[in-house]
Amino acid sequence: MSSRDAILATVRANRPGLTRELPSIPRFDSAPPVSLLDAFKAALVSMGGAFMELGEGADPLAPLRARLASGLVCSAVPEVSGNLPLSKVQRPSDLDKVDVGVVRAAFGVAETGSVCLTDEALVVNALGYLPQHLIVLLDPADIVVNLHHAYDRPEFRRHRYAVFHTGPSATADIEGVLIRGAQGVRSLTVVPVLRRT
């Protein structure tokens, strides 16, 4: 048995046997927005993200397909095909040359314009960080009003990895100069696409 396993076994064996109810936490949503989608869009844009409306006609994803027509695209969603299949990714660092990554959010948060990405949706967690641009499909029915509701979602108990993305990567120096795409994706675009059943 390794030292790590011995330490973890000792911790597990000596856990207190207390079972206490968690305190009830207020939801702080006494006046939710009329439209969660509109509130989500406004918060997303204020954080530097973009919202792409679907097209009309036979192919509502036509505007998205046009945007993905050039460059190296890696998609983790069945609705959009890329030219770099995830099955060909041997190491996470293989995604550093990807122009656009396409993933599906587990849900969105109207209050902050955030999307929750899980290990299941990303397949390779680096897909949320290494591409130059990230496109996130989000079912409008999966938008919750605020972070209090978000943390009650099952994704945080069911998955090994769940993370919020709120707009593109950004950093600011002491003088307040904001730079987007400093350490991660340069742009984050959310597209309202119904979840396949």
Alpha-carbon gap, residue 148 to 171, rounded angstroms: 26
Q: What is the pLDDT of residue 30?
A: 75
Q: 93-115 b/e with 16+ CB inside 10 Å = b?
A: ebbeebbbbbbbbbbbbbbbbbb
Tell me, what's the pLDDT at 122? 93
Report which of 137, 122, 139, 136 is spatially closest to residue 188, judged by C-alpha positions.
Answer: 136
Helix (H) or strand (E) holding 20: none
Tell me which of 3.40.50.11140, 2.60.120.10, 3.40.366.30, 3.40.50.10420 is the CATH number of domain 34-192. 3.40.50.10420
Can you give the pLDDT at residue 126?
A: 93
Q: Does residue 9 contact residue 149 with C-beta atoms inside 8 Å? A: no
Per-residue confidence of the chain (197 residues) as pLDDT tens digits?
889 999 999 998 998 877 778 788 777 777 888 899 999 999 999 999 999 988 787 788 888 888 888 899 999 999 988 899 888 898 999 999 999 999 999 999 999 999 999 999 999 999 999 999 999 999 999 999 999 899 889 998 899 999 999 988 877 777 778 777 677 889 999 999 998 76
Cα 165 to the center of its chain, rounded Å:
5
Give the domain ranges of the chain: 34-192
Q: Are 165 and 114 in contact (CB under 8 A)?
A: yes
- Please state whether the predicted TM-score (pTM) of the whole model is above 0.85: no
- The pLDDT, as a whole number, for residue 157 is 86
140: which residues sit within 8 A by CB, 6+ positions away? 36, 37, 192, 194
Give the angle subtended at the CA of 105 by the CAs of 167 and 162, to the nearest 5°. 85
Question: Which pLDDT score is estimated for 3?
Answer: 93
